[in-house]
C-alpha cells in the first residue's frame, strides 16, 4: 500500500506527539504538514528539524499550500472552539476526512474497539477525550454482558501533561465524555470527572470506571473486560488493569439514587486502569496524551485498510 499524505492541525503536545508516532510507527500514513498558529512553537520547530513541512497560518494557510490536494486525512489537535472554525473550511472539500482530537463532537464519537465499523463512512469522526478513550471500552465491555444503567469515570492525569489546549477544554471534557459513555458505551446515564494531579514526580494516567448494571455472571463480565483490554493494547501497549476487577451487589432493599434514573439496584463493577505513555514526545507519565494520539492513528490506519480493500 502506498502511504497516504496526512496533515495535523495543532502544534501543541497532542499534535506533536501524533506527528512523531506517524513518522516512527506508521506504514500507511505519511506526514505532509504540521499546522500551527504560533511560528515560535516547539512543535513547529521540532517538525522542521524532522523534515516535515510546516505552516503557521492555520487551516487557511494549509488550504493554500501546494500539497493540500494530495492530503486525504486531517487530524485536528487544536481546541473544541477552533475545530468548529477548521471544519467550516475543510468540509467543502469532499475528498478530505477529519479525525477530531478535540471535544468539539461535530462528528460522531469513535472509540476504535467499540464502534469503528459503524462509522467508516463518516467524514468527520470525534475521538471523544483521553478519558473517554481509556474508559468507554470498559463500560462497553460490561454492557455487552449486562445492561449498564449508569457509568461513572474518573480520569486522573499528571498536571504537566495537560497543555493549554487540554486546560481550555475542561468543561467540554466532562460533557463530551459523559455523552459518549451513553452513546458509545451503552449506559443509560454517564458522568465524567477529570483530575489534574500536581504530584511530583508526575504520576501516570489513572482511570477508575464504575458501572451499575443488571445482575449477570461475574466471570463473563470479568472475561469481557480482559478481552477489551487486550483489544486496546493492540494500539496502546501501555494500557493495563491496575488491579483486578471488583464486584459489589447493590440490593433492591438498599438501592442507590441516580439523577435522571431514580433508585436502582443491581451489580456494581469497578475497573481500575493505568495508562503508561510510550514517551514519544512527553515522558511516560503522559498516558493521556498517548492513548489519544494512538487511537487517532489507529483510526486513520484502519480507514485506509478499508479504503484499499
Mean pLDDT of 44-69: 98
Of the candidate ranges 27-31, 63-67, 98-102, 159-163, the one whose mean pLDDT is the lowest = 159-163
Q: What's the whole-number mean pLDDT along residues 234-246?
A: 97
Express each pLDDT in 267-296 by its tens digit: 999 999 999 999 999 899 999 999 999 999
Active-site residue, from 31, 130, 138, 267: 130
Asked if residues 240 and 304 have their Cβ atoms less than 8 Å apart, the reply is no
Q: How far apart are CA 204 and CA 215, in angstroms?
A: 33
Question: Which residues have C-beta within 8 Å of that of residue 131, sequence separation ≥ 6?
Answer: 153, 155, 173, 177, 192, 194, 207, 288
**Sign of the dihedral defined by the CA atoms of residues 71, 77, 82, 84, in that order:** positive
pLDDT over 70 (residue 1): no
Q: Look at residue 63 and tell me whether its pLDDT is greater than 60.
A: yes
- In the numeric block, the cell 475543510 is attached to 90
Segment 173-192 shows an average pLDDT of: 97
- For the chain, list the strands marked E by DSSP: 4-9, 29-35, 53-55, 73-76, 97-100, 124-126, 148-158, 189-197, 205-213, 239-241, 246-250, 256-258, 262-264, 266-275
Mean pLDDT of the chain: 96
Q: What is the per-residue pLDDT across 211-233, written as a single tens digit (0 to 9) for each? A: 999 999 999 999 999 999 999 99
Tell me if residue 55 is catalytic. no
Q: How many CA atoms lie within 13 A of 153 on its CB side?
A: 36
**What domains lie within the chain, and their CATH numbers?**
4-127+290-307 (3.40.50.720), 130-286 (3.30.360.10)
Separation of alpha carbons 236 and 106, rounded Å: 25
Q: Are strands 262-264 and 256-258 parallel, antiparallel or unpaired?
A: antiparallel
pLDDT for the residue numbered 169: 80
Amino acid at each position: 500500500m502506498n502511504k497516504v499524505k496526512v496533515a495535523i492541525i495543532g502544534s501543541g503536545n497532542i499534535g506533536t506527539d501524533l506527528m512523531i508516532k506517524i513518522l516512527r510507527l506508521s506504514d500507511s500514513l505519511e506526514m505532509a504538514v504540521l499546522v500551527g498558529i504560533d511560528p515560535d512553537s516547539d512543535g513547529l520547530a521540532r517538525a522542521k528539524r524532522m523534515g516535515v513541512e510546516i505552516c503557521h497560518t492555520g487551516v487557511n494557510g494549509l488550504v493554500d499550500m501546494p500539497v493540500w490536494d494530495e492530503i486525504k486525512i486531517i487530524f485536528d489537535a487544536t481546541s473544541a472552539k477552533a475545530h468548529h472554525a477548521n471544519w467550516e473550511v475543510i468540509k467543502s472539500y469532499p475528498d478530505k476526512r477529519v479525525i477530531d482530537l478535540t471535544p468539539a463532537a461535530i462528528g460522531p464519537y469513535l472509540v476504535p474497539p467499540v464502534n469503528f465499523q459503524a462509522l467508516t463512512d463518516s467524514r468527520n469522526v470525534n475521538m471523544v477525550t483521553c478519558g473517554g478513550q481509556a474508559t468507554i471500552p470498559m463500560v462497553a465491555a460490561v454492557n455487552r454482558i449486562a445492561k449498564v444503567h449508569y457509568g461513572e469515570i474518573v480520569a486522573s492525569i499528571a498536571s504537566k501533561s495537560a497543555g493549554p489546549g487540554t486546560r481550555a477544554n475542561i468543561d467540554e471534557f466532562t460533557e463530551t465524555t459523559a455523552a459518549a459513555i451513553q452513546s458509545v458505551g451503552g449506559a443509560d446515564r454517564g458522568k465524567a470527572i477529570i483530575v489534574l494531579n500536581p504530584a511530583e514526580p508526575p504520576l501516570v494516567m489513572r482511570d477508575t470506571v464504575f458501572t451499575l448494571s443488571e445482575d449477570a455472571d461475574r466471570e463473563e463480565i470479568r472475561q469481557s473486560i480482559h478481552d477489551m483490554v487486550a483489544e486496546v493494547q493492540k494500539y496502546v501497549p501501555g494500557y493495563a488493569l491496575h488491579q483486578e476487577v471488583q464486584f459489589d451487589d447493590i440490593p433492591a432493599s438498599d438501592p442507590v439514587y441516580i439523577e435522571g434514573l431514580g433508585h436502582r439496584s443491581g451489580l456494581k463493577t469497578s475497573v481500575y486502569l493505568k495508562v503508561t505513555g510510550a514517551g514519544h514526545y512527553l515522558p511516560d507519565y503522559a498516558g493521556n496524551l498517548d492513548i489519544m494520539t494512538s487511537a487517532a492513528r489507529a483510526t486513520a490506519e484502519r480507514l485506509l485498510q478499508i479504503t484499499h480493500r
